[in-house]
Amino acid sequence: MQVGEPRYDNERKSKNYFNLEKGDNVFRILPPLGNLAQAGHWSKYWSIHWGYKDTKGKNRPFQSPEIKNHNTKMIEVVDAAKVRVDAMSARRDQLSRELKAAVDSRNVAETKRLNEELNQLKELLKQYRLEKRYFLNAMTLDGKIGLLKIPHKAKVALDEEIKKLRSKGVNPLGINEGRFFVFSNVGMGTDTTYSVRVYEETIDVAGIGQVKKEMAHSLSNDVLTRLSTEAFELEKVYVKPSAAQVQAMVDNPSPENIEAIMDSLRVKNTKSESSDEEESEVEDDVPELTITTAQPLASVTAQSLGASANITVTTAQPVASAIVAQAPTPSKTVSATSSQPAPDFGAMSNEEFLKMING
């Protein structure tokens, strides 16, 4: 007979969420669990939206509802939140090019306007972000069990290392004789590179001294018992709203509306386990395909951005120009009639010029 730990009132044990930090990270990937056990699936890939907060200021992440036909490359179900992120990213890139041109020509007023607009947009992109990751159940060397999320490049490196082990007859994710892996990463953002190798322990061999050896690891009965409460049902980590519900959150991102919609999803899917997770600050490394859809992109983007960013937009404008409001009137100007000598813009570097503009 199985014996469990009692829970009292609304007491709830917090679960562990793991990210790949800079440098070396050591994890044992756990075997397929729960509803995925029979199919043998030990990882799931999700596109997760961040930035939608409830009345307590807590992030309420959710899966993208987008459905793409990979044969025709057409988007069959549009994700309004993704459309907004894509449009803001395109506008950011356009503003960056325009800002460089303004700096190169030493246009003070235009540089200040573009710089302010670009900073506003960058802040929005920090809040509303689409994170694409593989999710796996994993265990640390000190025995903590939790959800590990890794980017595409790290998953490719892990698959290669697993393939090498399988060719030698090793089942690195099995209950018995499994392996810990060292995930290493260097660089920043999309330039980050990942490598994965089998973790080795140092042992003393008589007559030889210290040598390194792959550490085989078996899951004890204690660990197997803990999996039922500490591991994750990978297909249920994040709720998945409908396209209409996502559109409603984009149109009205008030905390009250976000909370109402997300709470209704939790009633339907009470096993969703993402409420304790904190947002990670890492760049995605999976390139995006061009969106092709029968729905007018401008109408979706203009409507959604106007609601979320408190800006005025019109669908007659191009999508990019409808994303950010007209920048405020600059609070500082450089006057040729000032009693101070006019700065010599031509003698300034671009960095010095931008520093002067920012005050």
pLDDT, tens only, 39-57: 999 999 999 999 999 999 9
Least confident of 72-76, 210-214, 347-351: 347-351
- Exposure pattern of 207-237 as b/e (b: 16+ CB <10 Å)? eeeeeeebbebebeeebeeebeebbbebebb
pLDDT at 239 over 50: yes
pTM of the entire structure?
0.71
Distance CA 262, CA 239 (A): 8
CA-to-CA distance for 227 and 39, rounded, in angstroms?
18
Average pLDDT over residues 210-234: 92
Q: Which residue has the higher pLDDT, 184 or 336?
A: 184
pLDDT of amino acid 80: 97
Residues β-bridged to residue 198: 181
User: How large is the greatest C-alpha to C-alpha distance in the chain, in angstroms?
Assistant: 89
- What is the predicted pLDDT for the residue at 205? 77
CA distance 265 to 236: 12
Banded pLDDT at 207 (limits 50, 70, 90):
confident
- Residue 316 or 32, more confident: 32
What is the model's pLDDT at position 300? 35
Residue 320 DSSP label = G
Higher per-residue pLDDT: 62 or 309: 62
Return d(Cα 315, Cα 139) in angstroms, integer.
50
Comparing 43-47, 268-272, 294-298, the range with the smallest average pLDDT is: 294-298
What's the pLDDT at 243?
Answer: 97
pLDDT, one tens digit per residue, over 132-182 is: 999 999 999 999 999 999 999 999 999 999 999 999 999 999 999 899 999
pLDDT of residue 74: 95
Q: With bands split at pLDDT 50, 70 and 90, how would you rate the model's confidence at 5?
A: low
What pLDDT was estimated at residue 213? 85
Overall average pLDDT of the 228-257 stretch:
95
Quick one: pLDDT band at residue 203, thresholds 50, 70, 90?
confident
Strands 16-18 and 145-150: parallel
pLDDT at 302: 36
pLDDT score at 317: 36
Whether residue 321 is predicted with pLDDT greater than 80 in this model: the reply is no
Average pLDDT, the chain: 80
Pick from 339, 265, 249, 255: which is nearest to 303 by CA? 249
Task: Say if residue 354's pLDDT is above 90.
Answer: no
Mean pLDDT of 299-321: 36
